Structure 1
Amino acid sequence: MRVGAADALLVVDVQGDFLPGGALAVPDGDAVVA
């Protein structure tokens, strides 16, 4: 794997609060981790 100047690494930490049943639930929030 070659990494160039135009490449990026995106890290997403999905918080359970935004999933169905969470404190700040978002409709279809679990689709992000599917």
Structure 2
Amino acid sequence: PLHLLLLWWLASHFLLHYCHQLELSGTLNAIYVN
């Protein structure tokens, strides 16, 4: 069904964004600590 595909797209997009934010904050943390 189309709505499941849309839901999956939204979930994957949110997950990618969340992972990117974590990576970014981890990088900033490393820079701040060093």
More helix by share: 2
Say which structure, 1 or 2, has more relative contact order (CA 8 Å, 6+ apart): 1
Q: TM-score, normalised by structure 2?
A: 0.23
